[in-house]
Amino acid sequence: MKYKLKKISGDASYREFYRLKKNNKTSIIVTAKKEKFKNLAVYAVINNVLNNNRINAPKLLSNHYKNDMIEISDLGEKSFYDYVISKKNKLNSYKSLIKLIIKIQKIKIKKLYKFKNFKITIPKYTLSNLHKESDLFFDWYLKYALKNKKITNIKKIFKSELNKVYKKLNYQNNTFVHRDFHISNIMINKKKLGIIDSQDAIIGNPLYDVASLVDDVRIKLPHQLQNKLLDFYHKNSKLRIDHIRKLKNDFDILSVQRNLKILGIFVRLYKRDNKNNYLKFLPHTWTLIEKRLQNPLLKNLKLLFYKYLSVNRLKKLNKI
């Protein structure tokens, strides 16, 4: 049997990916030594949950967990980013992703899943989770962006206001959330959509994945298109009976929270893992944060940004 093994580009995790070609068929070998349980066992379980709900995700082909690897099905080489980036009219293409989110949100989660001898539960987002994620902004991004300035007091002031903001979220944490739903994590093969990088799935707010998609730091979408997508989600989801403002408030809060987290993660990838290709996304991430801070609900948080941080300077940083 003839076979070829080729390393392919990875993601922000500790995993490495290899495309295995055996005769005319391909599969993906996923390896992980750090955070092995999440990156292999949990990943395989979440993919199985998605597939069992008729959502295309990589299937487990062979399990070599003891040897730090699993083999999964290959969803192809073309991401949705590759597909949509050159399209002038992106609305209908993005609507298909909103429909995919709505389909994901209909998944009914079991209390317990199994992967060989492991028992796996899908956790629920808590107030503590939201803070832990946005803390990455202070602990990584600000620490290096502000160089020698002490950020302990700034962090304390911001966390107090963020705590008030997070408590204003309308919707309960009762929905399956992919947690990293953006166009580079959606594959497209023969017009069939598939979803990858699902190991961080959680039970959370229904607007989280919508914010991940619509306020994706990797692509600059026109404001009008973003509004149309949020309106499309509102009209077609289980939340259609609610006023759009209720959705918009949760969307804005979660967009700011997620993008603060992203600023921290991208700087961490640069400083800790020598992955500097993520730095190019920092200015647009700031633009998205500024846009969502215009919500009157976030007025006090906005004032803190301009009082304690030079936002205009920070958003222009391409290098830390």
pLDDT tens digits along 26-73:
999 999 988 899 999 999 999 999 999 999 999 999 999 999 999 999
- Of the listed ranges 28-32, 204-208, 229-233, the least confidently predicted one is 28-32
- State the virtual CA torsion across 124, 125, 131, 136 in degrees, nearest 10: 90
Q: Which amino acid is at 107?
A: I
pLDDT at 308 over 90: no
Q: Give the model's pLDDT for residue 150.
A: 78
Domains and CATH numbers, the chain: 3-73 (3.30.200), 80-314 (3.90.1200.10)
Tell me the mean pLDDT in the region 179-196: 95
Q: What was the pLDDT predicted at 275?
A: 86
| Rounded distance between C-alpha atoms, residue 174 and residue 91, angstroms | 28
Q: Which residues of 150-163 are buried (b: 16+ CB within 10 A; e: fewer)?
A: ebeebbeebeebbe
Residue 200 pLDDT greater than 60, yes or no: yes
pLDDT at 320 over 80: no
pLDDT at 309 > cutoff 90: no
pLDDT of residue 199: 94
Find the Cα–Cα–Cα–Cα dihedral 250, 211, 280, 38, rounded to 10°.
100
Task: Provide, rounded to the nearest whole percent, the portion of the chain with pLDDT above 70.
Answer: 95
Report residue 116's pLDDT band, with 50, 70 and 90 as the boundaries: confident
Are the C-beta atoms of residues 27 and 61 closer than 8 Å to each other?
yes
How confident is the model over 254-264, as a mean pLDDT?
Answer: 97
- How wide is the angle at C-alpha 183 spanned by C-alphas 105 and 198, nearest 5°? 50
Query: Residue 279 in contact with residue 269, Cβ under 8 Å?
Result: no
Of all residues in the chain, what percent carry a pLDDT higher than 90? Answer: 80
Across residues 288-306, what is the average pLDDT? 95
Give per-residue pLDDT as tens, 129-183. Answer: 999 999 999 999 998 888 767 789 999 999 999 999 999 999 999 999 999 999 9
User: For residue 115, is pLDDT > 80?
Assistant: yes
CB neighbours of 107 closer than 8 A, spacing ≥ 6?
Answer: 49, 50, 53, 55, 176
